[in-house]
A = this chain, B = another copy of it.
Amino acid sequence: MSVRHALLALLSEGPKYGLQLREEFEARTGEVWPLNVGQVYTTLQRLERDGLVESEGTDEGPQKAYEITESGAAELAEWLRTPPDLSAPPRDELVMKVLVAIRLPGTDVHEVIQAHRRYLVQLMQQWTRIKEGGAEGDLNLSLAVDAEVFRLDSVVRWLDAADARLKRAAADGPGKQTTVQPAEAPLPKQRRRIGARG
């Protein structure tokens, strides 16, 4: 629900049309979050269907402008106030890979970890260079790039922690590896969730 509310926010400044929305969206995110146009139109249709925006009846040129409704403004405010539901963490592809590599015969987890680590560090450097290359006070670019660099950094730190943890576990006793979490006998089902969100 990220694009949906971003479009609502842009429309809260005044009536706008499809392509314009894409351009402004990308400008606000420092040109680092691309947005395909098709999604803009389909999202606008859903927003209109839900009564959050209205298409203007003005037949001036090929452009079809939408404007936000009261209901839309209310939803936008509500969205800003309410923290997202993180009761279940998102499935992360890299974490998945490591979890898989741990138990897959013929695969060296540490190789997988290090290969991805190198890639991530390289990416971080590229983003940092992009940020420095941007305009001096480009707040949007700065914030968007920072978010990604911070995220990548946390992944790198997780990889390091996982690597150390796995090496420690292997040193403690290779025989223990199968004991860690038996594949059969899938334990008394206790699904862990965090019950936050009002």
Contacts and interface: CB of A to CB of B under 8 A. Distances in A.
A34 interface: yes
Contact of A126 (B88, B126, B196): B196
A45 interface: no
Nearest to A35: B91
Interface of A: 1-3, 5-6, 9, 12-13, 23-24, 26-34, 76-77, 79-81, 83-84, 86, 88-89, 91-104, 107, 112, 115-116, 119-120, 122-123, 126-127, 130, 137-144, 146-148, 150-155, 157-158, 161-162, 165-166, 169, 176, 179-181, 183, 186-187, 189-194, 196
Contacts of A176: 137
A62 B83 CA distance: 43
A14 to B, nearest CB: 9
B123 A104 contact: no
22 contacts: A6-B96, A9-B100, A26-B186, A28-B103, A31-B189, A32-B88, A33-B88, A76-B100, A80-B104, A80-B107, A83-B116, A89-B148, A92-B147, A95-B147, A119-B196, A130-B192, A130-B194, A137-B169, A139-B166, A150-B154, A151-B155, A151-B158
B116 A2 contact: no
Contact of A31 (B2, B13, B33, B191): B191
Given A2-B92, A151-B154, 8 more contacts: A2-B96, A5-B96, A23-B189, A79-B97, A80-B97, A95-B147, A98-B143, A139-B180
A119 B84 CA distance: 9
Given A31-B191, A83-B116, A150 B157 contact: yes
A67 to B, nearest CB: 16
Q: Which of A97, A147, A155, A169 has the most CB of B within 10 A?
A: A147
A196 B122 contact: yes
A17 to B, nearest CB: 13
